[in-house]
Structure 1
Amino acid sequence: MKWVTYDAGSGPRTGILDGPTVRGLGAGVTLLSLLGDDGERLAEAGAAARTAPTEVRPLDEVRLLAPIPRPPSIRDGLCFLDHLRGCYRAMGRGGELHPAWSQTPAFYFGNPAAVVGPYDDVPIAPGCELFDFELEIGAVIGRGGRDLHPDTAEEHIVGYTFYNDWTARDHQLRDMAQGIGMGKAKDSAITLGPALVTADELEPYRSDGRLHLEVSATVNGREVSRGTLAAMDWTFGELLAYLSRGTDLLPGDVIGSGTVPGGCLLEHVDTPDMAGFSGWLRPGDVVSLQGPALGHTRQTVRPAPPMIPLRTGC
């Protein structure tokens, strides 16, 4: 099923996509509230939405929100090492990676308060001149767990959705210089949506233990990147096993795949395919992520709000 959180004018509701319509559940039922067991509550709610919905709305008359508008936590992995190599080359650092990148998957914590819907406008981060997007897929935890095994950890994923990790590259340079991880670079917006596509619906795309989900990204209608989840150097199973070492993953937690290689502007700054391209994102640019299994997002970049200085020069 494809689960959505939507607003038809009377506040957020939860429902399923059914062709050109949304079949909604009663007020107060959230997607997060349906998670946490072996999937029985979600399956029962899906059957109710299909056969006896509280309301049926035309899809083009509702506003789709993020499927889980405020996840308990967000962790973003870096599972495509070719993305990192591409970023290093763009920054003049060559393409060689430290052995640590092949010893454990890397990740950082995202900001749940920064989550936006799949068609919401996205303001540039305050003070940013080098605004970027990142093409990722998010896995949503359905059943919590701790110290998971990499061979079975994916059984804890209830479904998948697009994840756009909007990034202030100039702020990222400062974060890197300070050396304690991602800060304001990743703090302004994270797009989730348009739907949470349940894992069972994606089984036809699974082969040799990997999801062959093809996804792409465009800016102003021009394709910037195309790739597949099958190219992950670290699988979601391995990532979840690492993330859960000595700590709990909770129902509704969102786990990002990391950026599909080529799936951001930084990787293309000095390459010929940027000829005629506008460079860093500017107000009015339209960014879209799309894929036959996950649907599509479409968002317009807006001007940054004023930045309040901390002190002179800061």
Structure 2
Amino acid sequence: MRLAAFRRRDDPDGARRVGLVVGDDSSDGLGRWIHPFPDDTDLVELLAADPAEREALADLAAQGDGLRLAAVILLPPVYPVAMRDFLTFEAHVDGMERGHGNPGPPAEWYDAPVFLFMAPHAVTGPYDDIAMPPDTERFDFELEIAAIVCRDVCDATPEQALAAIGGYCVMNDWSARDVQSKEMTLKLGPSKGKDFATTIGPWVVTPDELDDCRDEDGFLDLKMTVKVNDEPVGADRSAHMGWSFEQLVSHASRASWVKAGEVLASGTCSGGSLAEAWGRNGSLTPPPLQVGDVVEMTIERLGTIRNRIVETGDVVAPVAPARRRTAVGGRLGASA
């Protein structure tokens, strides 16, 4: 089942509806329809519903009039209560580390799946324009798979964690690499290098739709591709993750809560970012993203997201440097 959040083009800003996506996989999406659920339907609660109940509700929606994709604006499938982004593709870690002059993944990477917390209020819709962030000359994309959690879990086993995953979607973790690099020299972040936009969508695909897409170890095995201005620039398969999604949710829940409505992402696949290519090539090849570029990401069975980079109309305040202090008598004191 594919479930989308949307508003009609004549709806006021802020309107949000949930619909059942039906139709073929034509690249232009013209073969697809969205059949609305009742107005008070919550997408996360629908993912958490008993499968038989969800199927019955979907059958009712399918009997009603459908809307062409051109008649709606697709919204982020969820506005997450929290977001965690993991680092699960070994080959991507290898390329990034080599770009920093290191021989490959550090030994610690293999010990446990690490993640960073993201800005949940920065999510954007699957076809929204993305404003060029300030202070960057190395704007980049990151191709990832995201899982939407539909039940609260704490100290969950992988089996329990699997039951808490309501579905999957495509994710682009946009990144200002030069800002990110400067932040991380202080062993913190990234923060302003990533908090301006994260694209998720185009809809959520429930796990039962992907039962035939698992490898012998139970990992999802889906082709992942990214294009810039219609030119292929990277591809991988999700089966190359070092940990499965149920292992990621289980790990995140150790001595902690993972809540319904959270988004947990795989991290960037190999070939899924420009920075990895820069690390392997030793140069900014391919070049950083510019205003006017269109980034398109497709994950087999999950769909396609497509975003154009535009000029920002915002005026941002200058960054205030720290008030410096000088050494007095061998210790720091207030400057004169």
When normalised by structure 2's length, the TM-score is 0.86
Structure 2 unmatched runs, 5+: 24-31, 324-336
1:14 is paired with a residue whose SS is strand
How far apart are 1:154 and its partner, in Å? 1.8
2:6 alignment counterpart:
6
C-alpha deviations, 1:191-228, integer Å up to 9, x for none? 11001001000111123111111110011111111111
Which residue among 104, 107, 111 is the counterpart of 2:115?
Answer: 107
On the 8 A contact 1:38/1:143 being kept in 2, the answer is no
How far apart are 1:29 and its partner, in Å? 2.1
Q: Does 1:212 align with 2:216?
A: no
On the 8 A contact 2:85/2:264 being kept in 1, the answer is yes
1:300 alignment counterpart:
308
Matches for 1:1-314 after TM superposition, within 5 Å: 1-8=1-8, 9-10=10-11, 11-19=15-23, 20-39=32-51, 42-51=54-63, 53=64, 55-68=65-78, 70-95=79-104, 97-208=105-216, 209-269=218-278, 279-304=287-312, 305-311=314-320
Structure-1 separation of matches of 2:53 and 2:179: 42
- Provide closer, same or farther for how the CA distance between residues 147 and 192 of structure 1 changes in structure 2, counting only shifts above 3 A: same
1:50 is paired with a residue whose SS is helix
1:267 is paired with a residue whose SS is helix
- Provide closer, same or farther for how the CA distance between residues 26 and 125 of structure 1 changes in structure 2, counting only shifts above 3 A: same
- Provide closer, same or farther for how the CA distance between residues 152 and 85 of structure 1 changes in structure 2, counting only shifts above 3 A: same
When normalised by structure 1's length, the TM-score is 0.91
- Partner letter of residue 76 of structure 2? A
How far apart are 1:182 and its partner, in Å? 2.1
- Partner letter of residue 172 of structure 2? N
2:66 is paired with a residue whose SS is strand
On the 8 A contact 1:66/1:192 being kept in 2, the answer is yes
2:276 is paired with a residue whose SS is helix
- Cα RMSD of the aligned pairs, angstroms, is 2.2
How far apart are 1:294 and its partner, in Å? 0.9
- Provide closer, same or farther for how the CA distance between residues 202 and 130 of structure 1 changes in structure 2, counting only shifts above 3 A: same
Aligned length: 309
Structure 1 unmatched runs, 5+: none
How far apart are 1:143 and its partner, in Å? 2.2
How far apart are 1:309 and its partner, in Å? 0.4
- Provide closer, same or farther for how the CA distance between residues 288 and 301 of structure 1 changes in structure 2, counting only shifts above 3 A: same
Structure-2 separation of matches of 1:47 and 1:26: 13
On the 8 A contact 2:95/2:280 being kept in 1, the answer is no
Structure-2 separation of matches of 1:107 and 1:313: 29
How far apart are 1:38 and its partner, in Å? 4.6
How far apart are 1:39 and its partner, in Å? 4.6
On the 8 A contact 1:22/1:58 being kept in 2, the answer is yes
On the 8 A contact 2:44/2:166 being kept in 1, the answer is no
